[in-house]
């Protein structure tokens, strides 16, 4: 029996999210095709459809679906995801030289170059790209699986295709933070992040942090030994890869690689509704509206205004929260979960306000996509959002 999808526009994102994160399992190719008819331009769904067709031993159709997914991923600037889709396609049928060249041209000409990882793929020569793609190994892991452990040999570099992981800092940073009375919060990693402490390539290295999956994830990895061999033949690959890595900053316990998550942090004002559920008899439910003044894919700073002015000693730190983000249009309203990791009072010319820092617990592929599109629009799009914000504030002021 086919699944009924009522109120298509209302449930668009929730249904797609459930399919992509695996909470809704569709085993019928015909049912999946009906959904693709509703969302024909979503690359994640085409990729998922290709996986289903391959499992159903329908390789020719799977090949076409992977090809379509790769094209749509490139149009969205998602080079890594396009490469993985092509690897799956070419696993079914070996490409001709002309087909390989066409894909390289698309990746080189249309692939986004906004982040170091995107530039890494786009700047390679055709021979270099093929050499790296041939040696990438796909890895799928369920949630709560250890990927790296601190102080163990680091012999792999990983690229995150989908899903969410968390990273804890090295033990020396954690010890210093504990002695200083500072809680250590994990850093969330997601699609297009990269990890693996493999440099220098010609010397043994160890992992400086512990990384564990939060949700089901898909990674591609390449061993340090294989990568070293490729870089010996193609020195530019090593130069491009080293551009992704930043010098370590042990004083701040920062990561040593730059990712899309690090690059996306903007000051657009965004409406936020926050609710803290009750916890037993010790903590009552609490709700408030505020403005996210610093939003990224890992969390946000929220200005609660004077909401806590009458009870400044109320401690929200550590509370789990349910978050509703209004992205200034009728469709893009995100419902997320997170944790309040810091709280402070700040004096302004209009009185004291409360600021809180919220770390997102998990982000689905769709949540990440929507946040990325919202945060990384062109200058014209950013100006439009600001003008929408100004007009909404003025309207409310005069009511």
Q: Which residues, listed in sequence order, are joined to residue 360 by a DSSP beta bridge?
A: 338
Q: What is the mean pLDDT of residues 263-274?
A: 62
- In this prediction, residue 104 carries a pLDDT of 93
pLDDT tier, 397 (very low <50, low <70, confident <90, very high otherwise): very low
What domains sit in the chain, N to C, each tagged with a CATH number? 9-112 (1.25.40), 137-263 (2.60.120.10), 265-393 (2.40.10.220)
| Sign of the CA dihedral running 68, 71, 76, 78 | positive
**At 174, is the secondary structure helix, strand, or coil?**
helix
Whole-structure pTM value: 0.61
CB 188, CB 298: distance < 8 Å? yes
Residue 64: CB partners within 8 Å, gap ≥ 6?
A: none
Cα(170)–Cα(296) distance, integer angstroms: 24
Torsion angle of the four alpha carbons 75, 80, 34, 367, in this order, in degrees rounded to the nearest 10: -90
pLDDT tier for residue 68 given thresholds of 50, 70 and 90: very high
Selected residue with higher pLDDT from 393 and 215: 215
327-385 pLDDT tens trace: 755 445 788 888 888 887 777 766 788 888 888 887 777 777 777 766 655 334 444 44
Q: Is the peptide bond before 291 cis (omega within 30 degrees of 0)?
A: no
Q: How many whole angstroms separate alpha carbon 319 and alpha carbon 275?
A: 10
Rounded to the nearest 10°, the torsion over CA 329, 330, 332, 337 is 110
- CA 169/CA 167 separation, integer angstroms: 7
Instruction: Indicate the average pLDDT of the chain.
Output: 77
Mean pLDDT is lowest, of 156-160, 229-233, 258-262, 314-318, for 258-262
CB 52 within 8 A of CB 29: yes
Using pLDDT thresholds of 50, 70 and 90, give the confidence band for residue 134. Answer: very high
Per-residue pLDDT, 251: 33
pLDDT at 390 over 50: no
Instruction: Return the H-helix or E-strand segment holding 337.
Output: strand 333-348
**Sequence-ordered alpha helix ranges (H) in the chain:** 8-21, 29-38, 43-55, 59-75, 79-92, 97-110, 116-122, 126-135, 171-179, 224-233, 235-244, 260-263, 365-375, 379-397
pLDDT at 389: 42
């Amino acid at each position: 029996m086919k699944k009924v999808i009522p109120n298509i526009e209302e449930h668009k994102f929730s249904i797609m999210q459930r399919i992509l994160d695996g909470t809704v399992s569709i085993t019928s190719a015909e049912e999946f095709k009906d959904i693709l008819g509703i969302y024909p331009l979503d690359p994640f769904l085409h990729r998922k459809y290709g996986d289903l067709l391959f499992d159903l031993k329908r390789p020719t159709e799977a090949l076409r679906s992977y090809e379509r997914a790769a094209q749509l991923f490139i149009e969205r600037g998602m080079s890594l995801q396009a490469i993985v889709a092509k690897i799956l396609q070419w696993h079914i049928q070996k490409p001709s030289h002309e087909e390989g060249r066409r894909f390289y041209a698309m990746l080189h000409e249309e692939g986004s170059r906004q982040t170091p990882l995107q530039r890494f793929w786009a700047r390679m020569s055709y021979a270099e790209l093929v050499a790296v793609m041939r040696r990438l190994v796909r890895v799928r892991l369920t949630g709560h699986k250890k990927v790296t452990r601190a102080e163990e040999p680091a012999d792999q570099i990983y690229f995150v295709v989908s899903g969410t992981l968390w990273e804890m800092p090295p033990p020396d940073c954690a010890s210093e933070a504990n002695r200083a009375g500072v809680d250590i919060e994990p850093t969330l990693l997601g699609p297009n992040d990269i990890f693996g402490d493999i440099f220098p390539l010609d010397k043994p290295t160890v992992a400086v942090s512990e990384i564990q999956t939060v949700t089901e994830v898909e990674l591609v990895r390449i061993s340090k030994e294989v990568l070293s061999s490729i870089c010996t033949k193609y020195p530019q690959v090593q130069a491009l890869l080293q551009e992704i890595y930043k010098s370590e900053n042990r004083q701040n316990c920062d990561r040593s690689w730059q990712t899309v998550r690090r690059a996306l942090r903007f000051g657009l004002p965004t409406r936020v509704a926050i609710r803290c559920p009750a916890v037993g008899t010790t903590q009552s439910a609490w709700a408030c509206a505020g403005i996210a003044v610093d939003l990224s894919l890992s969390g946000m700073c929220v200005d609660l205004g004077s909401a806590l002015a009458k009870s400044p000693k109320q401690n929200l730190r550590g509370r789990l929260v349910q978050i509703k983000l209004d992205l200034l249009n009728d469709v893009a309203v995100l419902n997320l979960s997170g944790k309040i990791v810091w709280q402070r009072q700040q004096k302004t010319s209009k009185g004291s306000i409360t600021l809180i820092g919220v770390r997102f617990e998990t982000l689905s592929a769709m949540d990440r996509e929507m946040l990325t599109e919202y945060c990384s629009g062109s200058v014209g799009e950013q100006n439009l959002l600001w003008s929408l914000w100004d007009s909404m504030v003025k309207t409310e002021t005069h009511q």
